[in-house]
Structure 1
Amino acid sequence: MALQLIELTPDRADRAAADALIESAAKALSAGNAELVEAQVPSDFGRVFLIAEERADSAAADALNTASITFDDIAEVRLVGADLETVKASKGSAQYLVEWDLPEGLSMDKYLARKAEKSPLYENVPETQFLRTYVREDMGKCLCFYDAPDTEAVERARQVVDTPIDRLHELSQRD
């Protein structure tokens, strides 16, 4: 079973459009041999990030295509820093999302070794809690999730682990 990162753009940049897109995608995935693990929406409502667990190869893309749901990108990802059951139980709660476009030549093994080496440094920024990362298997980018009081705290946490921020999103909290 593989995890897929699915990126979508709602028809309108508002909560209702994002929620409708998430609901449609969740139904399509469920009907198509996949399961929605988590859905995250930046507070500007311009993007939707989904993580789906597939029970068969290409199940997520096939399910979305069958339901005529247009996605911007889909890629297999690896969950790092948390286990899948914990993420499912927490419904993927997080306050901030950092996108990092990984540098060319970085292998998954080097990334994982770096992550293991640097993660203890988060203790130097106790107001920020690292939650989890999804790393694209093609090493194109990763999504890192945090709880923090503000964007500056997330920026301090990234500085302490010497890792850049390509895009930082405050996440909209769903009811």
Structure 2
Amino acid sequence: ASKLFLKSHTFYLLYRSEKSDTKLGGESKCFQMRYYEAGRGKEEFLTQLLFRDNSTGQMDVYSIVIVLEKSNESLKYYDRLVAQNHIATRYEIYDLLYTDYHTCFTLRRISDDLHQVWMIDRRNASVIDPGCESAYQGPVNEYGCAVPKPKYDIFDPEICQ
């Protein structure tokens, strides 16, 4: 996960498995995350969350800290993102399911199993790595069948500048 933060990017939430996310922007049709500063010697990244308030059309901005962790200490890489407020009193934990480090990454919020696909920088959403969609849908069940997750589009290129 640390490779995602090697340089400053804007990440755009393309779609998620719930229509409204009360923990992250409600039903906003434009949700962005911008990393802007790394903590020295730690896997901590100051990040801005921006989402469009559908009632006013304005972008609301919040600052958070993303801390990278390992789901298992034996791993050589960070596979978990902990998003917390600046005083670390509220937080959510996300598993990084997949990334190609160039076009997209897929997250799963542990507390409620919400899945998200994010686009790295602004691009044509149809050219992102298919591995992100595959990770979003997850493995087949014990009968060899895939049960598709619902997809609620969040990124609207007309309003998400």
TM-score range, shorter chain: 0.3 to 0.5
The answer to which structure has the higher helix fraction is 1
